[in-house]
Amino acid sequence: MSKIGVFVCHCGENISATVDCAKVAETAGNYDGVAFSVDYKYMCSDPGQNLIKSAIKEKGLTGVVVASCSPRMHEPTFRKACAEAGLNPFMCEMANLREHCSWVHEKGEATTEKAIDLVRILVEKVKYNHSLNEIKVPVTKTALVIGGGIAGIQASLDIANTGHKVILIEKDPSIGGHMSQLSETFPTLDCSQCILTPRMVEVAQHPNITLYTYAELESLEGFIGNFKAKIRRKSKSIDEKLCTGCGQCTTKCPVKKIPSEFNEGLGKRTAIYVPFPQAVPNKPVIDRINCTYYIKGKCKVCEIVCPTKAIRFDQEDQIMEVEVGAIVIATGFTVKQPDFFPEYGYGKYPDVITGLQFERLASASGPTLGEIRRPSDDKVPEKIVFLACAGSRDPAKGIPYCSKICCMYIAKHAMLYQHKVHGGKSYVFYMDIRAGGKQYEEFVRRAIEDDGVNYVRGRVSRIYEKNGKLIVNGVDTLLNAMPVEIEADMVVLATAGIANEGAEELAQKLHISYDPYKFFAEAHPKLKPVETNTAGIFLAGACQAPRDIPESVAMASGAAVKVAGLFSQDELTREPIIAVVNRQAPPVYSSCVGCFLCVSACPYQAIEKEEIKNRNGELIKLIAKVNPGLCQGCGTCVAFCRTKSIDIQGYTHEQMYTEVMALLNEY
């Protein structure tokens, strides 16, 4: 028994100038189920809203159609008014007479006719509206940050500083990430470690941050505000509580020749090790693959020397479950190994190195203590060649996109070289110089103009060794493609930044999407750069695309604000415009047949499988179920479902069908 009120607004003269509002109201008043119909100068004004409220109360209206401006403008206003009068706000619909009718058509019968049609379709729709309640989701006010590089550190600190708990997990034994490997940072050339280390310590000491290093995400369930994460804490083979980080074990460990990951293979480490001196936590882990005890079953030197008896050879991986309300992914990136360019001789010639290796050479904490010496013979290179775009912007062999950071770090490298090796000669082969960013262009110009780095626009075709020199064959496209040959002592390849190995699996665990390069996908390229498609999961830093430090930090702070915003509420309120899979009484249970095509169609991974069991607990069928926490209400699944088993509240089958029917028929 519908009792619908129709409220036609003149909007001053905005509508009434071209639409006969009185006639619209009169016609609507004659429709079945319309109990009250009126036109008024300004419906959104207080008296206008009161008109609606009193009609709801006096006439006992079951539905309201406000025919005025765009619902994008005033739908919240009128729904609120309805709610205040005791009518479920979702029983109110708006006919857009202003933007879609009076403002775009001339005065005349046809325009009034259209206005009448627009009102009629919503009158008929409202008959099929249902009272809906906003969805309340509780929020667990703890964030999980995955990845302890600069982005993860920044996000953790920002969230922690808003007073919320953070769990930070890092797969390596120490936080710090790639930034801790860098020597100096562009465009200011301040020492990377110097600015990063205090942040790392802050993380370790922050009362709101729980740090788990050597830990990875095992699985994730749940939805915004209510995630359950399983974390695998890989065995460090030490008792962290007892370990004081004295370093006895690492000094005494007999296995000393393991290439150091931190030093990109340019230095060595022991089997029980701390990755770098400033590591946080500064406690060692045993690398079981290289440890003699784990290989041969004997050694235990570390156990013997440990003054606190902290070594635990039988320690196992621990799986712990944590409940979190939001997740920030800051897993960073990796660099593509340049061996896909055999003509550059990486791996064959020890003095052809990557940019990241150069960072270690230039770093004061690196294997050469900051002196630029070539790996083969420790000599200071007199001539050095830098190759930009070693893999980037190369759809044929590398990756099609621009890695973005290389132009800047190459300029930095060349500059550092010139500063450290006086009289040295440096060359940079480049395609274009991309130095968009505050002070970036100036930085590159400084390298060229002040420090005399030779920039050659062109590509290198081949590098080979001749008489202890690396012969670099290239062309200079600015000089009519003239061939260039440089006898270099060392070559540095600016290898492409790519997604981490395993990024795809992580995305699948998190139910977020990723782009063709396996970088995680943001929810909207412009307006939601730190959100993912999965509500409550945010991105920071280079896991989304190659990013430099300032960008990573900015993104991290952005993500942190999103988390803080989420945590500022005790409950999340969501519009109930979500999809629902029907449920029926036994023996049918649901008309869903469980083909789960909707699962692949859903942009939000909001559709789950539900087991339907009979009274004896036997599985009868598997059907789809929409997780109301994840569903955003796009309705893609609805149009898909062959059995019409999914419907979307607010835009149901009946509502949309009725709108079409009402539009084209006389009522």
Partner 1 sequence: MNIDKRLVRKDSLEKLFDILKQNSKTIYAPFSKNGKTSFMDAKSFAGISTGHIQTSESSKDIAFPRAEKILDYSKNKEGMSVKGIDFADIPEVVLWGVRPCDAIGIGELSSIFNWDYKDEIYNNRLSKVTVFGFSCNKSDEYCFCTSVGGNPGNTAGSDILFTRMGEDGDYLAEIITEKGLTVVSLAQNLFEKSETLEREKFLAEVPVRFNHEEIRKKLDKFFESKEWIEESLRCLGCGACAYVCPTCACFDIQDEAHGKKGSRVRCWDSCGFSHFTVHTSGHNPRGVQSARWRQRIMHKFSYMPERLSVYGCTGCGRCSRACPVDMNILEHLISIQEVTV
Partner 2 sequence: MAEFEPKIVAFVCNWCTYAGADLTGTSRIKYASNVRIIRFPCTGRIDYMLLLKAFDEGADGIIVSGCHPNDCHYTSGNFHARRRWIMFRSLCDFTGINTERIKFSWVSAAEGAKWAAIVNATVTSIRELGPYTEYKKVAKYPEKEVTHG
Partner 3 sequence: MMDNLYMPYLMRIDRITYEAPGVKTFMLKFVNEADQEKFSYKAGQFGEYSVYGVGESTFCIASPPTRKGYIECTFRQTGKVTNALSDCEEGSIIGFRGPYGNVFPIEEWKGKNLLFIAGGIALPPMRCVIWNALDLRDNFKDVTIIYGARTVKDLVYKDELKDWELRKDVKLVTTVDPDGESPDWKGEIGFVPTIVEKIAPSSKGTIAIVCGPPVMIKYTFPVLAKLGFTDESIYTTLENRMKCGFGKCGRCNVGKVYVCKDGPVFTLAQLKELPDEY
Residues 574-603 that bind partner 2 (CB under 8 A): 577, 601, 603
User: What are the start-end ranges of the E strands in 325-453?
Assistant: 326-329, 333-335, 352-354, 383-390, 425-430
**How big is the site for partner 2, counted in residues (CB under 8 A)?**
51
CB of 71 to partner 2, least distance (A): 8
3-state helix, strand, coil in the chain (%, to 5): 30, 25, 45
Cα angle, residue 167 at apex, residues 161 and 168 outer, rounded to 5°: 95
Given candidates 82, 87, 92, 121, which one binds partner 2 under the rule CB under 8 A? Answer: 121
* CA 56 to each of CA 36, 82, 190, 274, 533: distance values in angstroms, whole numbers, following the listed order: 9, 8, 68, 72, 39
Cα(152)–Cα(154) distance, integer angstroms: 5
- Quick one: 110 or 319, whose CB is closer to partner 2? 110
Q: Is 127 in the site for partner 2 (CB under 8 A)?
A: no
Given candidates 42, 128, 313, 651, which one binds partner 2 under the rule CB under 8 A? Answer: 651
Token reading at 518: 């396996």
289 binds, among partner 2, partner 3, partner 1, none (CB under 5 to 8 A by kind): none
Q: Is 544 in the site for partner 3 (CB under 8 A)?
A: no
**How big is the site for partner 3, counted in residues (CB under 8 A)?**
4
* Contact (Cβ atoms closer than 8 angstroms) between residue 5 and residue 36: yes
370 binds, among partner 2, partner 1, partner 3, none (CB under 5 to 8 A by kind): none
Cα angle, residue 394 at apex, residues 388 and 398 outer, rounded to 5°: 95
533 binds, among partner 1, partner 3, partner 2, none (CB under 5 to 8 A by kind): partner 2
Residues 96-155 that bind partner 3 (CB under 8 A): 127
Q: Is 527 in the site for partner 3 (CB under 8 A)?
A: no
Q: Is 1 in the site for partner 3 (CB under 8 A)?
A: yes
Q: Which residues bind partner 1 (CB under 8 A)?
A: 30, 32, 584-588, 661-662, 664-667
Cα(532)–Cα(515) distance, integer angstroms: 12
* Contact (Cβ atoms closer than 8 angstroms) between residue 243 and residue 258: no
CB of 588 to partner 3, least distance (A): 12
CB of 2 to partner 3, least distance (A): 7
Q: What is the residue type of 205? A: Q
Given candidates 70, 133, 188, 643, which one binds partner 2 under the rule CB under 8 A? Answer: 70
Give residue for tokens 């009718």.
Answer: 101
193 binds, among partner 1, partner 2, partner 3, none (CB under 5 to 8 A by kind): none
Q: How far apart are the first and last CA of the chain?
A: 17
Token reading at 46: 């207080």
CB of 114 to partner 1, least distance (A): 17
101 binds, among partner 1, partner 2, partner 3, none (CB under 5 to 8 A by kind): partner 2
Q: Using the 8-state DSSP alphabet, how is residue 98 labeled? A: I
- Quick one: 42 or 128, whose CB is closer to partner 3? 128
- Quick one: 290 or 534, whose CB is closer to partner 2? 534
> Helix (H, G, I), strand (E, B), or coil: what is residue 416?
helix
Token reading at 405: 């950071």
- Quick one: 423 or 586, whose CB is closer to partner 1? 586
Q: Indicate the burial class of 434 (C-beta count within 10 angstroms; 0-12, 13-18, 19 or more).
A: buried
* Contact (Cβ atoms closer than 8 angstroms) between residue 427 and residue 452: no
Residues 6+ apart with CB under 8 A from 530: 522, 538, 539, 540, 555, 558, 559, 562
- Quick one: 439 or 584, whose CB is closer to partner 1? 584
33 binds, among partner 3, partner 1, partner 2, none (CB under 5 to 8 A by kind): partner 3
- Quick one: 481 or 661, whose CB is closer to partner 2? 661
CB of 585 to partner 3, least distance (A): 10
Backbone angle region of 543, left / alpha / beta, with phi > 0 → left and psi within -120 to 50 → alpha = alpha
Cα(294)–Cα(311) distance, integer angstroms: 13
CB of 34 to partner 3, least distance (A): 11
Residues 523-552 that bind partner 2 (CB under 8 A): 523-525, 533
Cα(211)–Cα(216) distance, integer angstroms: 12
* Contact (Cβ atoms closer than 8 angstroms) between residue 630 and residue 604: yes
- Quick one: 481 or 661, whose CB is closer to partner 1? 661
Cα(157)–Cα(496) distance, integer angstroms: 29
Residues 24-53, one symbol each (x = binds partner 3 by CB under 8 A, - = not), give ---------x--------------------
Binding stretches for partner 2 (CB under 8 A): 70-73, 96, 98-101, 103-106, 108, 110-111, 113-114, 117-118, 121, 513, 521, 523-525, 533, 577, 601, 603-604, 632-636, 638-640, 648, 650-651, 653, 656-657, 659-661, 663-665
Binding stretches for partner 3 (CB under 8 A): 1-2, 33, 127
